[in-house]
Amino acid sequence: MNYIRFFETVGIKDVGLVGGKNASLGEMYQNLSPLGVNVPNGFSTTKDAYNLLLSQNKLDERIEALIGGLDVEDVTQLQRCGKAVRELILNETLPLELETALSEAYTQLSGTYGEEETDVAVRSSATAEDLPDASFAGQQESYLNIRGTQCLLLHVKRCFASLFTDRAISYRHSRGFDHRTVSLCVGVQKMVRSDQASSGVIFTLDTQSGNQNVITVTSVFGLGENIVGGRVNPDEFYLFKPTLRQDKTAIIKRQLGSKEMKMIYDEKLKTLNISTTEKERARFSLSDDDVMILGRYALAIEEHYGMPMDIEWAKDARDGNLYIVQARPETVHSKHLNSINAKIIEKYQIKEDTSKRTRLLTGQSIGEKIGVGVVRVIRDLSEASKFNAGEVLVADITDPDWEPLMKKAGAVVTNKGGRTCHAAIVAREIGVSTIVGTTNATELLKDGMEVTVCCAEGEAGYVYEGRIDYELETIDLADLQEPKTKLFMNVGNPEKAFSLATIPNQGVGLARMEFIINNHIKAHPMALYDMHQGKWVKGKEEIELLMQGFEDPKSFFINKLSAGIGMIAAAFYPNPVIVRTSDFKSNEYKHMLGGEAYEKDEENPMIGFRGASRYYSDAYKEAFKWECEALKKVRDEMGLTNVKLMIPFVRTPDEGRKVISIMNEMGLVQGENGLEIYAMCEIPSNVIFAEEFLKVFDGYSIGSNDLTQLTLGVDRDSTLVAHIFDERNEAVKRLIKMAIDACKKEGKYIGICGQAPSDYPEITEFLVENGIDSISLNPDSVLKMRQVVVELEKRL
């Protein structure tokens, strides 16, 4: 029988999936060179090898005697049984034929590198592993930096024994796999020396929303065990597939992780963890060029297998090359693609204003659900018997050994971990609300506390004090009809963009740039500009902390802003995304880091130094140029030409021309590469003098909030006259109709992005009756108003 298969002997057409019914590990660790992908040399055992071991001394019957009748839900019994089975296998001698085959293969592999005993990674892969609907992520063991024949034989046996880890037994039971039908292959790969470089994980989709236009890359310094084990908060990058295929700079997001430690080799070439240096924590562990290479590798692998993939990679410090060390099907979102539930969307939503609640912790959300319950801190699996079903599991990390507890939990919160670690994969499969990387959950949360674990607010997950009511909305896309009037969405938070994009829509009518500046940059743009010129600014030390990972203030501002805009544009691609340039008022800018030196007190900031007036003023013009550079980067370098631009609060046509002139100077020219530049129609002069404004701009988007305020002479922030503020006032409606008519006459775009249509169905009806091109709504109003518009269009 054939007990060994070298990876390079597997032809590209003979490939099976790891976990395919008859696949061996060698059928996944094939030579991917025809795809332009580097993989380490190596070999694997076959199913025949494992079956040979089982047949020796009736090992299979002895295993069955131990595991038969096991109550998997009894954690203590599970631990006792699993240990007994593993010891049974470890105490068995490998069959002579298998030992000989492994020794000869190892000698041959070592000779390839001119070495007597080369260093290898020994990886396990069960034949029930990595099915399209079950990942078995981390259920079996793998071992790094193994050297020498006897050491190799020992670790091959350990891999076989790991088929019966407690977590693997529990996982198989919960998914209906009979352990008697499961086999295991062991892969032996030439070690990739990432201990002095970096390693990580790739998913060929957005792990939160399932959006398949995205590639998610995570990275840490050193060997990859820390990232897959959830021990380190990694760097994270997003690439956009459609523009990656066009050879554009497709990185739409860079997020610096804390990377507190890295796994290296000690003097005896054994693995150990050491703390990273301050410089390492303050910089990215992967260059943009390497991110792009990994993105192309991921595209090639996904296209070859025809499904979303979960991939592990490592960079070798010796030759500088990037290697793919493992690839398997993504199992959470993929199973819904062709299922009967593919057209069903579930949206969890908190039913009250969380700003009035105490937010205890923040971390990375896994999934989009909400869980409530009583806290139970478990510091070690030896305490597993204390955990009760429905409690909120709080731990330092949760590697796959914790799966039996995770599936009983009402929610999970950890100190460490990233979005692509094995525990996060298992949490998504189980469907439990999970937040990782909070850093101090085990210190702040105490046994018996009631908390709400919310993953429904974007990429950031929040733990709130007490129980908060929430609701689950189920949306059946099959029953939805498409209206003729375009229904856009107002989106400010890039972290929620991919989730919001799953709601049926036709684009984004208002993406607020100031939200990105305020929440992701946090420093006054002119403070950053002056720092870039070498000047001292107040708050410099705090700003420099924010800038970690970036070369200078300018690259920090432009990359952060372009990433935020790019995330929104990518999420809704190819639908249009209308980005409004910054519309801070002086009192809002003043509260940003360094802001006091650049903002004067104004009696009424709402009609003061804001919008277009800032852009050509010496007090802000240089910062506006940076805004333009970020927008140009999104459209030209990232290739997201679905981005359209909008200028707020343009008081006169001459102001508009001044702003357009600066934009042209910065390379943003109307008509080039399909660029359109609109103005907010929010001042009565925009309506009265529309004919002249529309000579400057490509259309209007009505801002009903400011238009109502300035038409009725009402300060919308004043409680004394709040009862007068009403977008349904006849004077306001007449101005809206005049604006629509003016744009129709000139053949220009006309939409609305104010609050009124989200609040009042009668305003939506009025807009549709008057032929508006698009209505941009708050996300929670889109589906409700969609039906209103469809019914109205039928009547009309």
Strand-pair partners of 274: 262
User: 534: buried, middle or exposed (CB in 10 Å: 19+, 13-18, 0-12)?
Assistant: exposed
Q: Of 269-278, 329-338, 371-380, 578-587, where does mean pLDDT reach its minimum?
A: 329-338
575 φ, ψ (degrees, to nearest 5): -65, 155
Q: Name 190's Cβ contacts closer than 8 Å, sequence gap at least 6.
A: 40, 41, 42, 109, 112, 113, 118, 119, 120, 121
Give mean pLDDT, residues 10-18: 30
User: 446: buried, middle or exposed (CB in 10 Å: 19+, 13-18, 0-12)?
Assistant: exposed
pLDDT at 129 over 60: no
DSSP letter at 94 equals P
Encoded tokens for 12: 């590209």
pLDDT at 128 over 90: no
Residue 56: CB atoms within 10 Å: 15
User: 101: buried, middle or exposed (CB in 10 Å: 19+, 13-18, 0-12)?
Assistant: buried
What would the pLDDT profile of 680-721 be if each residue is shown by its tens digit? Answer: 999 999 999 999 999 999 999 999 989 999 999 988 777 788
Cβ(40)–Cβ(25) under 8 Å? no
465 φ, ψ (degrees, to nearest 5): -70, 135
Active centre residues (catalytic) = 422, 753
pLDDT of the residue at 26:
38
Distances in Å between the Cα of 596 and the Cα atoms of 254, 427, 589, 626 are 29, 45, 8, 20
Distances in Å between the Cα of 564 and the Cα atoms of 511, 513, 558, 635, 676 are 10, 8, 10, 13, 20
Cβ(48)–Cβ(2) under 8 Å? yes
Cα distance between residue 511 and residue 492, in whole Å: 5
Query: Letter for the amino acid at 477?
Result: L
pLDDT of the residue at 182:
78
Taking the mean position of all CA atoms in its chain, how far away is CA 719? Answer: 40
Q: How far apart are the first and last CA of the chain?
A: 76
What would the pLDDT profile of 41-94 be if each residue is shown by its tens digit? Answer: 888 888 888 889 989 988 888 988 888 878 887 878 888 898 999 999 999 999
Band (pLDDT 50/70/90 cuts) for residue 338 is: low
User: 723: buried, middle or exposed (CB in 10 Å: 19+, 13-18, 0-12)?
Assistant: exposed
Cα distance between residue 81 and residue 94, in whole Å: 22
Band (pLDDT 50/70/90 cuts) for residue 132 is: very low
* Residues 623-662 as b or e (16 or more Cβ within 10 Å = b): bbbbbbbbbbbbbbebbbbbbbbbbbbbebbebbebbbeb
Cα distance between residue 128 and residue 182, in whole Å: 6
Element (H, E) at 55: helix 47-55
Picking from 253, 239, 322, 236, the residue whose alpha carbon sits closest to that of residue 39 is: 322
The pairing of strands 508-512 and 577-580 is parallel
